[in-house]
Amino acid sequence: MDQFRNIGVIGRLGSVKVVETLRQLKQYLIRENYHVIIEDDTASMLPGHGLQVASKKLLGEICDLVIVVGGDGSLLGAARELAKSNVPLLGVNRGRLGFLTDISPVDLEERLAKVLAGEFIEEKRFLLDASVERNGQALGFGAALNDVVLHPGKSTRMIGFDLFIDGHFVYSQRSDGLIVSTPTGSTAYSLSAGGPIMHPKLDAIVLVPMFPHTLSSRPIVVDGKSEIKLVIGETNEAYPQISFDGQMNIACAPGDIIRITKKPFKIRLIHPEDHNFYATCRDKLGWASEIAAS
Protein backbone atom coordinates (compact mmCIF):
# COMPACT_ATOMS: atom_id res chain seq x y z
CA MET A 1 0.00 0.00 0.00
CA ASP A 2 1.30 3.46 -0.91
CA GLN A 3 2.27 5.56 2.08
CA PHE A 4 1.47 8.75 0.16
CA ARG A 5 -1.72 8.33 -1.86
CA ASN A 6 -3.25 11.82 -1.58
CA ILE A 7 -0.65 14.48 -2.34
CA GLY A 8 -1.20 18.20 -1.82
CA VAL A 9 0.71 20.79 -3.85
CA ILE A 10 1.49 24.39 -2.85
CA GLY A 11 3.48 26.81 -5.03
CA ARG A 12 4.94 30.25 -4.49
CA LEU A 13 2.89 32.84 -6.33
CA GLY A 14 4.26 35.11 -9.05
CA SER A 15 7.14 32.98 -10.33
CA VAL A 16 7.43 31.62 -13.87
CA LYS A 17 9.98 29.03 -12.68
CA VAL A 18 7.56 27.79 -10.02
CA VAL A 19 4.81 27.39 -12.65
CA GLU A 20 7.17 25.32 -14.84
CA THR A 21 7.99 23.02 -11.91
CA LEU A 22 4.31 22.79 -10.86
CA ARG A 23 3.40 21.60 -14.38
CA GLN A 24 6.19 19.01 -14.35
CA LEU A 25 5.20 17.86 -10.86
CA LYS A 26 1.51 17.59 -11.77
CA GLN A 27 2.24 15.54 -14.90
CA TYR A 28 4.53 13.17 -13.01
CA LEU A 29 2.15 12.57 -10.10
CA ILE A 30 -0.85 11.98 -12.37
CA ARG A 31 1.20 9.64 -14.57
CA GLU A 32 2.11 7.65 -11.45
CA ASN A 33 -1.60 7.49 -10.42
CA TYR A 34 -1.43 9.66 -7.32
CA HIS A 35 -4.44 11.70 -6.26
CA VAL A 36 -3.29 15.33 -6.52
CA ILE A 37 -4.99 18.17 -4.61
CA ILE A 38 -3.82 21.70 -5.38
CA GLU A 39 -3.94 24.61 -2.93
CA ASP A 40 -6.51 27.20 -4.01
CA ASP A 41 -4.12 30.16 -4.55
CA THR A 42 -1.67 27.91 -6.39
CA ALA A 43 -4.51 26.70 -8.64
CA SER A 44 -4.83 30.23 -10.08
CA MET A 45 -1.36 29.79 -11.66
CA LEU A 46 -2.42 26.64 -13.53
CA PRO A 47 -5.58 27.46 -15.54
CA GLY A 48 -7.36 24.34 -16.79
CA HIS A 49 -5.48 22.08 -14.36
CA GLY A 50 -8.48 19.77 -13.79
CA LEU A 51 -7.41 18.93 -10.23
CA GLN A 52 -9.23 18.96 -6.91
CA VAL A 53 -8.72 22.31 -5.17
CA ALA A 54 -8.52 22.88 -1.40
CA SER A 55 -7.46 25.49 1.16
CA LYS A 56 -4.16 25.01 3.03
CA LYS A 57 -6.12 24.00 6.13
CA LEU A 58 -8.06 21.34 4.21
CA LEU A 59 -4.87 20.04 2.57
CA GLY A 60 -3.62 19.27 6.06
CA GLU A 61 -6.73 17.26 6.82
CA ILE A 62 -7.02 15.19 3.61
CA CYS A 63 -3.43 14.75 2.35
CA ASP A 64 -0.79 12.13 3.22
CA LEU A 65 1.97 14.48 2.00
CA VAL A 66 2.18 18.13 0.96
CA ILE A 67 4.82 19.20 -1.59
CA VAL A 68 5.85 22.87 -1.47
CA VAL A 69 7.41 24.38 -4.61
CA GLY A 70 9.29 27.62 -3.94
CA GLY A 71 11.93 28.84 -1.53
CA ASP A 72 12.37 28.42 2.20
CA GLY A 73 9.90 31.27 2.73
CA SER A 74 7.18 29.27 0.98
CA LEU A 75 7.86 26.28 3.19
CA LEU A 76 7.87 28.46 6.32
CA GLY A 77 4.41 29.76 5.42
CA ALA A 78 3.09 26.26 4.76
CA ALA A 79 4.62 24.96 7.99
CA ARG A 80 2.87 27.58 10.11
CA GLU A 81 -0.48 26.75 8.49
CA LEU A 82 -0.10 22.97 8.55
CA ALA A 83 1.79 22.22 11.78
CA LYS A 84 -1.36 21.28 13.68
CA SER A 85 -2.45 18.74 11.04
CA ASN A 86 0.72 16.59 11.37
CA VAL A 87 0.95 16.15 7.58
CA PRO A 88 4.57 15.72 6.35
CA LEU A 89 6.05 18.45 4.12
CA LEU A 90 8.51 18.04 1.24
CA GLY A 91 10.21 21.06 -0.35
CA VAL A 92 11.18 21.52 -4.02
CA ASN A 93 13.64 24.41 -4.22
CA ARG A 94 12.77 27.25 -6.57
CA GLY A 95 14.22 29.89 -4.25
CA ARG A 96 17.76 30.98 -3.52
CA LEU A 97 19.28 29.33 -0.44
CA GLY A 98 17.12 26.26 0.14
CA PHE A 99 17.95 24.99 3.63
CA LEU A 100 14.46 23.47 3.94
CA THR A 101 13.49 22.93 0.30
CA ASP A 102 16.17 20.45 -0.72
CA ILE A 103 14.88 18.70 -3.87
CA SER A 104 16.23 20.34 -7.02
CA PRO A 105 13.95 20.77 -10.08
CA VAL A 106 16.79 19.39 -12.23
CA ASP A 107 16.34 15.79 -11.03
CA LEU A 108 12.84 16.24 -9.61
CA GLU A 109 11.24 13.03 -10.91
CA GLU A 110 14.16 10.77 -9.98
CA ARG A 111 14.43 12.16 -6.44
CA LEU A 112 10.67 12.27 -5.92
CA ALA A 113 10.24 8.67 -7.08
CA LYS A 114 12.62 7.51 -4.35
CA VAL A 115 10.86 9.54 -1.65
CA LEU A 116 7.44 8.27 -2.71
CA ALA A 117 8.82 4.72 -2.68
CA GLY A 118 9.69 5.16 1.01
CA GLU A 119 13.36 6.11 0.65
CA PHE A 120 13.41 9.21 2.82
CA ILE A 121 14.42 10.70 6.15
CA GLU A 122 11.78 12.28 8.35
CA GLU A 123 12.60 14.85 11.00
CA LYS A 124 10.49 16.92 13.34
CA ARG A 125 11.04 20.64 13.89
CA PHE A 126 9.42 22.73 16.59
CA LEU A 127 7.81 26.14 16.10
CA LEU A 128 7.42 29.13 18.38
CA ASP A 129 4.17 30.70 19.59
CA ALA A 130 4.11 34.36 20.54
CA SER A 131 1.50 36.67 21.98
CA VAL A 132 1.41 40.42 22.52
CA GLU A 133 -0.46 41.79 25.56
CA ARG A 134 -1.46 45.38 26.24
CA ASN A 135 -2.95 46.42 29.59
CA GLY A 136 -3.66 42.76 30.41
CA GLN A 137 -5.52 42.15 27.13
CA ALA A 138 -4.30 39.91 24.28
CA LEU A 139 -3.52 42.08 21.27
CA GLY A 140 -2.33 39.49 18.78
CA PHE A 141 -0.83 36.05 18.24
CA GLY A 142 1.59 34.52 15.79
CA ALA A 143 3.68 31.42 15.09
CA ALA A 144 7.14 30.99 13.58
CA LEU A 145 9.29 28.10 12.40
CA ASN A 146 12.43 30.26 12.05
CA ASP A 147 12.19 33.20 14.40
CA VAL A 148 10.18 35.76 16.31
CA VAL A 149 11.89 39.15 16.00
CA LEU A 150 11.44 42.37 17.96
CA HIS A 151 12.54 45.17 15.60
CA PRO A 152 12.11 48.94 15.16
CA GLY A 153 9.91 48.75 12.05
CA LYS A 154 10.41 51.92 10.03
CA SER A 155 11.93 53.79 12.95
CA THR A 156 15.69 54.28 13.27
CA ARG A 157 15.56 54.57 17.08
CA MET A 158 16.87 51.92 19.45
CA ILE A 159 14.38 49.87 21.47
CA GLY A 160 14.55 49.65 25.25
CA PHE A 161 13.18 46.40 26.69
CA ASP A 162 13.45 44.01 29.63
CA LEU A 163 14.10 40.29 29.11
CA PHE A 164 12.76 37.59 31.43
CA ILE A 165 13.37 33.82 31.02
CA ASP A 166 11.11 31.48 33.00
CA GLY A 167 10.13 34.41 35.19
CA HIS A 168 13.73 35.36 36.00
CA PHE A 169 14.90 38.85 35.08
CA VAL A 170 17.88 38.59 32.70
CA TYR A 171 18.68 42.16 31.61
CA SER A 172 17.44 45.51 30.39
CA GLN A 173 18.74 46.27 26.95
CA ARG A 174 18.86 49.06 24.41
CA SER A 175 19.39 47.74 20.90
CA ASP A 176 17.85 47.49 17.44
CA GLY A 177 15.88 44.52 18.75
CA LEU A 178 16.10 40.84 19.58
CA ILE A 179 15.93 37.69 17.44
CA VAL A 180 14.37 34.69 19.20
CA SER A 181 15.22 31.73 16.99
CA THR A 182 14.61 27.99 16.78
CA PRO A 183 17.39 25.65 15.59
CA THR A 184 15.69 25.75 12.16
CA GLY A 185 16.06 29.55 12.11
CA SER A 186 19.65 29.48 13.34
CA THR A 187 20.93 29.38 9.74
CA ALA A 188 18.70 32.31 8.72
CA TYR A 189 18.40 35.86 10.14
CA SER A 190 19.91 34.81 13.48
CA LEU A 191 23.12 33.72 11.73
CA SER A 192 23.50 37.05 9.94
CA ALA A 193 23.21 38.82 13.32
CA GLY A 194 26.05 36.74 14.82
CA GLY A 195 24.04 33.88 16.34
CA PRO A 196 25.33 30.28 16.53
CA ILE A 197 24.38 27.52 14.11
CA MET A 198 22.32 24.93 16.00
CA HIS A 199 21.70 21.37 14.85
CA PRO A 200 18.00 20.86 14.01
CA LYS A 201 17.69 18.05 16.59
CA LEU A 202 18.50 20.39 19.49
CA ASP A 203 15.69 21.30 21.88
CA ALA A 204 16.93 24.85 22.36
CA ILE A 205 16.13 28.48 21.58
CA VAL A 206 18.73 31.17 20.86
CA LEU A 207 18.27 34.85 21.72
CA VAL A 208 20.40 37.15 19.56
CA PRO A 209 20.60 40.90 20.31
CA MET A 210 20.60 43.15 17.22
CA PHE A 211 23.31 45.83 17.41
CA PRO A 212 23.17 46.16 21.21
CA HIS A 213 24.26 49.38 22.92
CA THR A 214 26.75 47.44 25.07
CA LEU A 215 29.40 45.18 23.54
CA SER A 216 28.98 42.65 26.37
CA SER A 217 25.53 41.64 25.06
CA ARG A 218 25.95 38.25 23.40
CA PRO A 219 23.63 35.51 22.09
CA ILE A 220 22.15 33.27 24.80
CA VAL A 221 21.06 29.67 24.16
CA VAL A 222 18.28 28.47 26.48
CA ASP A 223 16.23 25.32 26.96
CA GLY A 224 13.53 24.84 24.32
CA LYS A 225 10.90 24.61 27.07
CA SER A 226 11.69 28.10 28.36
CA GLU A 227 9.13 30.89 28.48
CA ILE A 228 10.61 34.10 27.16
CA LYS A 229 9.01 37.40 28.14
CA LEU A 230 9.90 40.79 26.68
CA VAL A 231 8.56 43.98 28.23
CA ILE A 232 8.77 47.05 25.99
CA GLY A 233 10.13 49.99 27.98
CA GLU A 234 7.57 52.62 28.96
CA THR A 235 9.92 55.43 27.93
CA ASN A 236 10.30 54.27 24.31
CA GLU A 237 9.42 57.00 21.81
CA ALA A 238 9.33 54.52 18.94
CA TYR A 239 6.62 51.90 18.41
CA PRO A 240 8.48 48.64 17.61
CA GLN A 241 7.10 45.58 15.86
CA ILE A 242 7.13 41.84 16.34
CA SER A 243 7.60 39.76 13.17
CA PHE A 244 7.08 36.04 12.59
CA ASP A 245 9.46 34.45 10.05
CA GLY A 246 9.66 37.93 8.53
CA GLN A 247 6.24 37.38 6.97
CA MET A 248 3.79 38.87 9.47
CA ASN A 249 4.01 41.84 11.82
CA ILE A 250 2.22 43.02 14.97
CA ALA A 251 2.74 46.66 15.98
CA CYS A 252 3.70 47.08 19.65
CA ALA A 253 3.64 50.05 22.01
CA PRO A 254 5.55 51.07 25.14
CA GLY A 255 4.52 48.84 28.06
CA ASP A 256 3.44 45.89 25.88
CA ILE A 257 4.39 42.39 26.98
CA ILE A 258 5.52 39.74 24.47
CA ARG A 259 5.47 36.09 25.54
CA ILE A 260 7.25 33.44 23.45
CA THR A 261 7.05 29.67 24.02
CA LYS A 262 7.46 26.48 22.05
CA LYS A 263 4.37 25.32 20.14
CA PRO A 264 2.85 22.10 21.54
CA PHE A 265 3.14 20.30 18.17
CA LYS A 266 5.92 19.98 15.60
CA ILE A 267 6.08 19.91 11.82
CA ARG A 268 7.24 16.81 9.98
CA LEU A 269 9.83 17.47 7.27
CA ILE A 270 10.62 14.85 4.63
CA HIS A 271 14.08 14.78 3.02
CA PRO A 272 15.68 12.49 0.41
CA GLU A 273 17.59 9.64 2.05
CA ASP A 274 21.00 11.21 1.34
CA HIS A 275 20.11 14.44 3.18
CA ASN A 276 22.81 15.58 5.61
CA PHE A 277 22.69 18.77 7.70
CA TYR A 278 26.44 19.37 7.57
CA ALA A 279 26.60 18.82 3.82
CA THR A 280 23.77 21.35 3.44
CA CYS A 281 25.75 23.86 5.54
CA ARG A 282 28.85 23.25 3.39
CA ASP A 283 26.86 23.78 0.22
CA LYS A 284 24.69 26.73 1.26
CA LEU A 285 27.19 28.61 3.44
CA GLY A 286 30.25 28.09 1.26
CA TRP A 287 32.27 26.10 3.78
CA ALA A 288 35.44 24.51 2.39
CA SER A 289 35.13 20.85 1.43
CA GLU A 290 38.88 20.32 1.33
CA ILE A 291 42.06 22.11 2.40
CA ALA A 292 43.43 24.03 -0.56
CA ALA A 293 46.91 23.05 -1.69
CA SER A 294 49.56 25.47 -0.45
**113 close to 221: Cβ distance less than 8 angstroms:** no
Condensed to tens digits (0 to 9), the pLDDT of residues 262-284 reads: 999 999 999 999 999 999 999 88
203 is an active site residue = no
Reported as a pLDDT band with limits 50, 70 and 90, residue 292 is low
191 is in an annotated binding site: yes
Among candidate residues 40, 72, 162, 274, the one labeled active-site is 72
187 is in an annotated binding site: yes
247 is in an annotated binding site: yes
Q: Residues with Cβ < 8 Å from 142, sequence gap 6 or more?
A: 129, 130, 148, 242, 244, 248, 250
Condensed to tens digits (0 to 9), the pLDDT of residues 60-86 reads: 999 999 999 999 999 999 999 999 999
Who has greater pLDDT, 231 or 291? 231
pTM: 0.93
The residue extents of the domains of the chain are 6-118, 127-263
283 is in an annotated binding site: no
Mean of per-residue pLDDT scores for the chain: 93
Condensed to tens digits (0 to 9), the pLDDT of residues 167-182 reads: 999 999 999 999 999 9
Looking at domain 6-118, its CATH class is alpha beta
40 is in an annotated binding site: no
Residue 138, strand partner residues: 133
Decide yes or no: CATH 3.30.70.3420 for domain 127-263: no
137 is in an annotated binding site: no
